[in-house]
Amino acid sequence: MSEQQLTGRLYGVGLGPGDPSLMTVRAVEVIAEADVIAYHSARHGRSIARSIAAKHLRDGHIEEALIYPVTTESTDHPGGYRGALDEFYESAAARLAVHLDAGRTVAVISEGDPLFYGSYQHMHKRLAHRYPTEVIPGVTSISAAAARLGKPLAEADEVLTILPGTLPEEELTARLTSTDTAVVMKLGRTFPTVRRAMERAGRLPEAHYVERATMSGERTERLADIDAETVPYFSVSVVPSRIADLPPAGTATAEAEATAEAETSATTPATATASATTAATATATAGEPSGPAEVDSSPHPGEVVVVGTGPAGPLWLTPESRGALAAAEDLVGYTTYLDRVPLRPGQRRHASDNKVESERAELALDLARRGRRVAVVSGGDPGVFAMATAVLEVACQDPYRAIPVRVLPGVTAANAAAARVGAPLGHDYAVISLSDRLKPWEVIAERLHAAAGADLVLALYNPGSRSRTWQVGKTRELLLEHRAPDTPVILARDIGGTEESVRTVRLADLDPTQVDMRTLLIIGSSQTQAVRRDNGTEVVWTPRRYPEG
């Protein structure tokens, strides 16, 4: 008999989430035809996989119980817990290889799907390259949990994130914050950590708990109501689709919201100042009272979150900011910055011109008084020449003093520009706006003299515009009183955008006509270095050590 005829076939068989009736037809066929049925179990010897497939097993089957030497307990194995498991998987694979070499068909059965957090995976990567192999997919516990809850996992452009509860709390929090919908697996002893992460991420009110989906002893509840002492390993947490909870198109509520959104969108930049307060009333759903005495009919308290989007698009968003934008019911901001945020069903957008910051802040706070979750969208970091100041200034006045306001940081334009060329901000530096719209030029000049005299690197915002054409030239003259003509100057324009350009020039060669409102300038100190490397790139950095004397 040839070697090819002697070689058996390996199957990884998914059994579904627990209910034997959810096994696929193919899974039943493979089990019936197999010579060997292998399954994993803990040291007590009871296998969930075997119990699911039990009625399809026959007397002629050879059973291989692959019993873990450890599960969660400690071990004295010299390689630790991971070493003990790796040794076990090697031994288990060798046992199955004996059957395969003898020409037997081996079916390794596993609950759920074999290639989704399944024990079969460890046999697959040790044997599949050596023997003919077929994997039979199964219904995952995730799909079963969503079905038992009757909650869609994701709709339209929503992103579903699947997380193991064994991740560190900070990592869980960041990922839960930044995703649209989520499922957290492997609860059990990790449940307290998962619950804290849900709460820190602001997702606890949305989260559901599913235990032993489709099995006997199934339980579904709100995650917030679960006692940690009662949570087994075979349980998951589900943060379902937000879009799916929106009222369907054609209902009275949906029509009222659509009308309100259309009314608000009709506000043009030219009329934003006059209509900012009335726009808040326009966005209220039909039937709500308006004015100072308005009653909060929302199921949750309102708040304003000021979000920094960084200098450009989604790649610059922090997980926390991404989550706040997704959770908001209303987005308020300058049109250019709102355009960076993906459209989401059910969200209302309130766009306005860049010169009505106070009115924009008042609109956001008015919406929050009605119980709306509002995100004020800012470029860069909202606390650096941006919207956080305007919002807080209004929020500290009546009638807004009780409205919760949070500020979420973003990547600043200065940090983004510096990173493109290296590390010019590696030592002490000053950040100054050259715009004299809100402060007189005399104050700007005084600060430039002081910072330059202190030999600080300078990050200069708002250097020029159509109506401000002389400030850059004046700044160059002033700085040349303190800096050498060959001091490196970085002109960073539209960082992260489609028109990004970064150049390094000498201070003496700085051309004001090459600078506009979308440009940020970084002026080096006496220690800043600009070096062309062997690959042709030029890097700029400022040493962290300053010379003595």
Which CATH number belongs to the domain containing residue 306 in this structure?
Answer: 3.40.1010.10
Consecutive H or E run containing 444 = helix 441-453
Residues 262 and 379 reside in one and the same domain: yes
Structural domain contains residue 292: no
CA-to-CA distance for 495 and 130, rounded, in angstroms? 51
Identify the pLDDT of residue 263: 42
What per-residue string of b and e applies to 105-133 under the rule 16 or more CB within 10 Å gives b?
Answer: bbbbbbbbbbebbbbbbbbbebbeeeeeb
Identify the pLDDT of residue 82: 79
For residue 420, how many other CB atoms are within 10 A of its CB? 16
Residues 419 and 520 reside in one and the same domain: yes
Residues 222 and 269 reside in one and the same domain: no
What distances in angstroms separate CA 283 from CA 301, 374, 472, 534, one per listed residue? 17, 12, 42, 58
| 57 contact partners, CB below 8 Å, separation of at least 6 | 31, 37, 50, 63
Exposed, middle or buried by CB within 10 Å (0-12, 13-18, 19+), for 315?
exposed
**CATH no. for residue 222?**
3.30.950.10
Identify the pLDDT of residue 289: 30
Structural domain contains residue 275: yes
Residues 437 and 313 reside in one and the same domain: no
Task: Please state whether the peptide bond connecting residue 132 to the residue before it is cis, i.e. omega within 30 degrees of 0.
Answer: no
E-state strands within 409-500: 422-423, 429-433, 457-461, 488-493
What is the bridge-based pairing of β-strands 330-334 and 348-352? parallel
Structural domain contains residue 429: yes
Residues 98 and 199 reside in one and the same domain: no
Identify the pLDDT of residue 285: 31
More confident residue, 355 or 123: 123
Supply the DSSP string of 318-372, one letter for each residue: -HHHHHHHHH-SEEEEEHHHHTTSPP-TT-EEEEE-TT-HHHHHHHHHHHHHTT-
Domain coverage including residue 113: 3-138
Residues 316 and 437 reside in one and the same domain: no
CA-to-CA distance for 276 and 265, rounded, in angstroms? 12
Which residue's structure tokens are 């039990």?
Answer: 54
Among 213-217, 354-358, 521-525, 533-537, the range of highest mean pLDDT: 521-525
Residues 84 and 129 reside in one and the same domain: yes
What distances in angstroms separate CA 297 from CA 289, 301, 324, 332, one per listed residue? 10, 9, 22, 21
CA-to-CA distance for 186 and 135, rounded, in angstroms? 23
Structural domain contains residue 549: no
Which residue's structure tokens are 């809850």?
Answer: 149
Structural domain contains residue 88: yes
Phi, psi at 546, each rounded to 5°: -100, 140
Structural domain contains residue 175: yes
Supply the DSSP string of 11-57, one letter for each residue: EEEE-BSS-GGGS-HHHHHHHHH-SEEEEEE-TT---HHHHHHGGG-
**Of 411, 441, 459, which residue sits at a domain end?**
411
3-state SS class at 441: helix
Contact present, 215 and 17 (Cβ < 8 Å)? yes
Residues 478 and 374 reside in one and the same domain: no
30-70 residue pLDDT tens:
999 999 999 999 888 789 999 999 999 999 999 999 999 87
380-422 residue pLDDT tens:
999 999 999 999 999 999 999 999 999 999 999 999 999 999 9
More confident residue, 267 or 12: 12
Residues 407 and 418 reside in one and the same domain: no
Residues 266 and 329 reside in one and the same domain: yes
**Of 411, 446, 473, which residue sits at a domain end?**
411
Residues 68 and 149 reside in one and the same domain: no
Which segments of 266-334 does DSSP mark as H helices, in order? Answer: 272-282, 319-327
Cross-sheet strand order for the sheet of 160-164: 160-164, 181-185, 235-239, 208-211, 219-222
Quick one: DSSP state of residue 547? P
326-383 residue pLDDT tens:
889 999 999 989 998 988 888 999 998 877 899 999 999 999 999 999 999 999 999 9
Structural domain contains residue 495: yes
Contact present, 196 and 223 (Cβ < 8 Å)? no
3-state SS class at 463: coil
More confident residue, 256 or 334: 334
CA-to-CA distance for 27 and 336, rounded, in angstroms? 54
**Of 387, 411, 435, which residue sits at a domain end?**
411
Structural domain contains residue 95: yes
391, amino acid identity: V
What distances in angstroms separate CA 402 from CA 196, 202, 333, 366, 395, one per listed residue? 26, 20, 22, 12, 8
275-328 residue pLDDT tens:
444 333 333 332 233 333 343 445 567 999 999 999 887 888 998 999 899 889
Q: Please state the domain count of the chain.
A: 4
Identify the pLDDT of residue 83: 81
Residues 334 and 233 reside in one and the same domain: no
